[in-house]
Amino acid sequence: MNIALIGYGRMGHAIEGLAAGRGHTVVCTVDNEAEWGAKAEALGSADVAIEFTTPATAVANIRRCFGLGLPVVCGTTGWDADLDAVAAQCRAGGHALFTASNFSLGMNIMFELNERLATLMRGRDSYRVDIVETHHIHKLDAPSGTALTLARQIAAATDRPLDAIPIESVRQGEVPGTHTVTYRSDIDTLSLTHEAHSRQGLALGALLAAEFLVGRQGHFTMKDLLH
């Protein structure tokens, strides 16, 4: 599989580092506006694009990939307001898009546990719930997309208003990502935590998503990959 990396920061380098071991080739990296034109030939040889950039540029990057006929795996978070429109464009044009707030397999298992725990907590008003997410100082969006996913799951399962679920965002050092959901009552505390030790889990998940996406049409998520 030939891969175009849209965004060549920490995640792009991590994906590149794992790609060859899975039999794939990174044929192109695009890290600024000028490179879209300068690397047009290389982009044309790609089978799939993996996009990790910024919330301000992600939508335009995805649409450019659509224009090139490239399936695109997008790991950028913070552009949720545009997701429905982009997904609709994807389906209408026969394109392929894979989005996730977190590509780590472990984190997606935690999403499943979070939904189950929230269901059990429905109606148990003696428990107060909050989320703490910690990331490196370079992360641009806060709260993280992962924390927002956790909060939305809790709100849907418990009928609590989304804005009644506190999310604390901590930015320190080079922390890859830690997310903790905590339920507290006067008599006990129950917590779920996922702690990433490196970006390797995210990079592997993005490559698995790319392998899944090639040859398909439509909008997909980690639930499609895992189930």
pLDDT of amino acid 83: 97
Report pLDDT for 67: 96
Question: Residue 227: its pLDDT value, please?
Answer: 86
Of the candidates 13, 39, 95, 135, the residue annotated as catalytic is: 135
How far is Cα 55 from Cα 101, in angstroms, rounded to an integer?
12
Beta strands of the chain (E only): which ranges?
2-6, 25-30, 48-51, 72-74, 96-99, 128-135, 167-171, 178-184, 189-195, 218-220
Query: What's the CATH superfamily of 105-195?
Result: Dihydrodipicolinate Reductase; domain 2 (3.30.360.10)
CATH 3.30.360.10 in the chain is located at: 105-195
**Adjacent-strand bridge partners of 132:** 168, 180
Residue 39 annotated to the active site: no
Residue of 24, 39, 136, 139 with catalytic role: 139
Q: How far apart are CA 158 and CA 151, in angstroms?
A: 10
* pLDDT tens, per residue, the chain with 227 residues: 999 999 999 999 999 999 999 999 999 999 999 999 999 999 999 999 999 999 999 999 999 999 999 999 999 998 999 999 999 999 999 999 999 999 999 999 999 999 999 999 999 999 999 999 999 999 989 999 999 999 999 999 999 999 999 999 999 999 999 999 999 999 999 999 999 999 999 999 999 999 999 999 999 999 999 98
Q: Cβ distance 50 to 73 under 8 Å?
A: yes
What are the C-alpha distances in Å from 167 to residues 33, 72, 179?
34, 30, 10
The structure tokens listed for 129 are 């719930």
Buried b (16+ CB within 10 A) or exposed e, 107-122: bbebbeebeebbeebe
Spatial contact of 110 and 147, defined as CB atoms under 8 Å apart: no
Which segments of the chain belong to CATH 3.40.50.720? 2-103+200-226
Cβ distance 201 to 222 under 8 Å? no
Assign a CATH topology to domain 2-103+200-226. Answer: Rossmann fold (3.40.50)
**Is 139 tagged catalytic?**
yes
Which helix (H) or strand (E) is 19 found in, with range? helix 10-19
